[in-house]
Amino acid sequence: MRFSVLGSAGSYNSPGSACSSYLVQQGDCSVLLDAGNGSMANLFDFCNPAELNAVVLSHEHADHWVDIVGVYHYRLLADSSGGEIPLLAPPSLLAALSKQLHADDFKGVFKPIPIDPSTEIEVEGLKLRFSRTNHPVETYAVSVTGQDSVIVYTADTGPDCEPLNLLVAEADLLVAECTWADQFTYSGPPLHMNPSSFVRLLDRSQATLAFATHVAHPQSRQQVLEEIRRLTDRNVELAIDRLSVEV
């Protein structure tokens, strides 16, 4: 599989970076994981939006889905050759999107599929599975199993989420949020991870590579990476927009 970063900023855009979006490709199959604000501009570097085979939106926070509006209109008005594709998202987000787009049925662009923890779907040889995360709204991490490897993307999550610990076990590539540096203080319901919780999650997986992503500006991505590397010898890098790797 090929994994590409279309947006890696946390919660809102940061200088030069779009919000959360990733592309998984195997052969002719392309699956979009989240569509944060600004990310569609980077999508064109890797895939014509008309050639997407499926879209997954992890949750209803705007930094993870706003550019699906652009993908929808592109596939509706500019190039409809790709036909209807699955749009997997939590039920509340599907309802909000159909309202936003004034399209109860998504007009043949998307086939809405509500995600629950038991959802499994195969798209052109890529198998998608899901787990809930620790986040204030219904949020799903996604595991993508291809021919030779497994990619797990955590979406947004607070620390020590047991279903997520299980989902990451088989990951070859772990793409995990690390929104805050360790000294950032937050008290409230589970929301995001920091280097300590990132490494605890990484320790639950066999991943040979992990990307830290969703670092929230103005915190320093480099500082977050250094803090992670102080805690583990595992192979950890920063997710950076337009970065692309074979997995």
Please report how close the Cβ of residue 20 comes to Zn ion at its closest, in angstroms.
Answer: 6
Q: Measured from the CB atom, is 138 or 237 closer to Zn ion? A: 138
The letter for the amino acid at 116 is: D
The verdict on 61 binding Zn ion (CB under 5 A) reads yes
Q: Measured from the CB atom, is 67 or 156 closer to Zn ion? A: 156
Q: Measured from the CB atom, is 63 or 241 closer to Zn ion? A: 63
Please report how close the Cβ of residue 215 comes to Zn ion at its closest, in angstroms.
Answer: 11
Contact 208, 172 (CB under 8 A): yes
What b-and-e string marks burial along 31-59, b requiring 16 or more CB atoms within 10 Å of the CB? bbbbbbbbbbebbeebbebeebbbbbbbb
Please report how close the Cβ of residue 133 comes to Zn ion at its closest, in angstroms.
Answer: 9
Q: Measured from the CB atom, is 37 or 205 closer to Zn ion? A: 37
Per-residue x/- mask for Zn ion, residues 145 to 184, rule CB under 5 A? -----------x----------------------------
Q: Measured from the CB atom, is 63 or 67 closer to Zn ion? A: 63
To the nearest 10°, report the CA torsion of 156, 21, 59, 206: -50
Contact 57, 98 (CB under 8 A): no
**Of residues 1, 18, 57, 63, which one binds Zn ion by CB under 5 A?**
63
Residues in region 193-222 near Zn ion by CB under 5 A:
none
CA 128 to each of CA 28, 50, 122, 152: distance values in angstroms, whole numbers, following the listed order: 17, 21, 6, 10
Which token pair is 242? 């337009």
Contact stretch for Zn ion (CB under 5 A) within 61-69, 79-87, 158-166, 233-241: 61-69
Please report how close the Cβ of residue 229 comes to Zn ion at its closest, in angstroms.
Answer: 23
- Annotate 22-45 with DSSP letters as a single string: EEEEETTEEEEE---TTTHHHHTT
DSSP code of residue 105: T
Binding residues (CB under 5 A) for Zn ion: these are 61, 63, 156
